[in-house]
Structure 1
Amino acid sequence: MIRFSPRTATLLAIISVAGLMMFAWPLLLHGYERVQPPFVFLALLPLMLVVLLSELSAGGIDTRMIALLGVLSAIEAVLRAVSAGTGGVELVFFMLILGGRVFGPAFGFVLGCTSLFVAALVTAGVGPWLPYQMLGAAWVAMGAGLLPRASGRWEVAMLAAYGIVASYAYGLLLNLQGWPLLTGVTVPGASGNLSYDPTAGLAENLVTFLRYTLVTSTSSWDTMRAITTAVAVALLGPAVLATLRRAARRARITTPTATEASPLPAE
């Protein structure tokens, strides 16, 4: 697995904080008449991710790890192409969660970034939303690698439950960054709508946003993504986990979530 060095952990924390600020810009800006996302963060985040990948490469990505990363990213691109999120049916989280679980949080973070980038190239989905999707997917895969140890059916159940939580959290963050642009800006002092009010306080806009996300994607899109991910993990998880752990042993990568260390096959 890719291990966190103190410098890499610090850099990852900085990227995560900057990313959260980028997602939450509608709640952080106040009193602006012109509502637009902070494109400075949008431009800086990909550069920061490149620095992180360089840090992780210096900390332990060898040719076998790069090969596994490439294979998993290609699989994710195919899954994104055949299940492009129509109605929320999306299989991308399925492999992100299992890959992060087997290879650890650092590998999962890199996998989330590269997978969404490659998938965007394959599906012609490159746009200003891509850095948001990359960072959100990176957090999903990294979170799977940080889950506690478990085995057998308990592990599959835990990953399926995590898939549900991660699907809603991912949708919440993506909705937040695009909320003012999708609903428009309300007239200051108006009530009874779901639009962003640049003159309102953080608490008031947060309540309005939660109401907006409950009315929209939580009831349809994110729910379907959560169901798809949980069902895929429950049905295919055991076989895919075994395959990934076998590949990790052949590549001589330590998997912290495997309950038993199997001997390497004779060569």
Structure 2
Amino acid sequence: MAGRRASRRGAPAPARLVPVSARATVSILLVSAVGAASFLWPLFIAPGSTLDDVATAPLILAALLPLFLVVVLAEISRGGFDVKAIAMLGVLTAVGAVLRPLGAGTAGLETVFFLLILAGRVYGPGFGFVLGATTLLGSALLTGGVGPWLPFQIMASAWVGLGAGLLPRARGKVEVALLVAYGVLAGVLYGITMNFSFWPFIVGLDNQLSYIAGAPVLENLHRFVVYTVTTSLGWDIGRALTNGVAIVLIGPAVLSALRRIARRAAFGQVSAADRASPNHAAAGRGAPDRPAPDRTGDHDYRQ
């Protein structure tokens, strides 16, 4: 018993289960560049330019959604997203779309981001990126929340899932602490990022919180910081605390469940075999090979 416990403690942290291909990485970088430009372009416009988020946001949405599709197609063509991984993406998207209205942003309480963080942690940055996008899109369609803010929410939530998948490996309580810290940080950064999507359009023209078209970047950034601290920081802290508390209370159980499901589903096993053996398709007409059971991480949170 002691030997088995020691071997578990010495086992490496579980790897990401849906790896990101080179094509998907390029697609994610491209989408992120477009997304960053969609948030930050008001800082770099010429004086006297007219801003109209109602006109520009639908164009951004129309540009972003095909690029998100490219990410999915790149993963499918590589084999990282097999049918079972896509099914899991659909299930988690549905769960997240239902969870989000439960908080509805009341006092900053957001009940969806902890799931994006945990799923991105388990299945990797590519999966987390797509899940963040599909969850916010699905929630908007479910609740009728489609509007000029939607493309920005899609982009910001996709970054939350992406960042969770890029966290360094850890196990047990260290992993939970890492995820709590990330959840708190992501909760605040999500709010700050979303402020950029509407701050230039809603504040008056003659106060210290206002955006000034054509002003130096540092001056507008100073105004933005004052605006954020004055108006939304309390809500952002509420979102951050919700993430942290949810991860502490149910994070270990959800992580173990997601990893157990992924091991039993053996995401990508067939595609990997196809690449290794040209005759796998013919051999596959018989009984499929069962992957060796991997119990790494089963007891990470019971030590």
User: How far does residue 138 in structure 1 lie from its aligned partner after superposition?
Assistant: 0.9
Tell me what 2:179 maps to.
159
Contact persistence 1:156–1:233 (CA under 8 A): yes
Which residue in 1 is equivalent to 2:10?
none
- 2:135 aligned partner, one-letter code: S
Structure 1 residues 94-173: aligned runs within 5 Å? 94-173=114-193
Aligned 8 A contact 1:30 1:201 in 2: no
Q: 2:212 aligns with which of 163, 179, 197?
A: 197
Structure 2 residue corresponding to 1:262, chosen from 267, 290, 295:
295
For residues 31 and 110 of structure 1, the distance between their equivalents in structure 2, rounded to whole angstroms, comes to: 37
Query: For 1:17, which of 3, 16, 33 is the aligned residue?
Result: 33
Q: Which residue of 1 aligns with 2:301?
A: none
Residues 25, 177 of structure 1: 8 Å contact kept: no
Please, which of 237, 241, 249 is the counterpart of residue 223 of structure 1? Answer: 237
Retained in 1: the 8 A contact 2:108–2:239? yes
Q: Does 1:89 align with 2:115?
A: no
Point out the more displaced range, 118-127 or 55-64.
55-64
Structure 1 residue 206, shift from structure 2 partner: 0.7
Aligned to 1:257: none
Asked if residue 206 in structure 1 is aligned to residue 188 in structure 2, the reply is no
Q: Deviations over 1:228-258 (max 9, x none)?
A: 110000111111111111111111138xxxx
Per-residue displacement from partner, 1:180-229 (whole Å, max 9, x unpaired)?
12214x25xxxx520111131111101110111111111x1101000011
Q: Deviations over 1:79-134 (max 9, x none)?
A: 11211111111111110000000011111111111111111111111112111111
Structure whose alpha-carbon radius of gyration is higher: 2
Determine if the alignment matches structure 1 residue 51 to structure 2 residue 70: yes
Please give the alpha-carbon distance, in whole angstroms, between the structure 1 residues aligned to 2:47 and 2:20: 40
TM-score, structure 1 normalization: 0.89
Distance verdict in 2 for CA 1:42–1:121, change over 3 Å: closer
Residue aligning to 2:47: 31
Q: What is the rounded CA distance, in whole Å, between the counterparts of 1:32 and 1:54 in structure 2?
A: 41
1:238 aligns with one of 252, 259, 269 = 252
After TM superposition, the score normalised by the length of structure 2 is: 0.79
SS in 2 for 1:35: coil
Q: Runs of 5+ in structure 2 lacking a partner?
A: 1-16, 269-292, 297-303
What SS does the corresponding residue of 1:234 show, helix, strand or coil?
A: helix
Counterpart residue number, 2:5: none
Q: Which amino acid in the other structure matches residue 43 of structure 1?
A: A
Q: Which amino acid aligns with 1:229?
A: N
Letter of the 1:5 counterpart: S
Q: Alignment length, in residue pairs?
A: 252
Uncovered stretches (5+) of structure 1, i.e. residues with no partner: 255-259
Distance in 2 between the 1:142 and 1:249 partners?
21
Provide the residue aligned with 1:70 in structure 2: 90
Q: Distance in 2 between matches of 1:8 and 1:71?
A: 22
For the 8 Å contact 1:81–1:122, the answer to whether it is kept is no
Matched, 1:175 2:175: no
- Contact 1:2/1:56, CA 8 A, preserved across alignment: no
The CA RMSD over aligned residues, in Å, is 1.7
Q: Runs of 4 or more off by more than 3 Å in structure 1?
A: 37-42
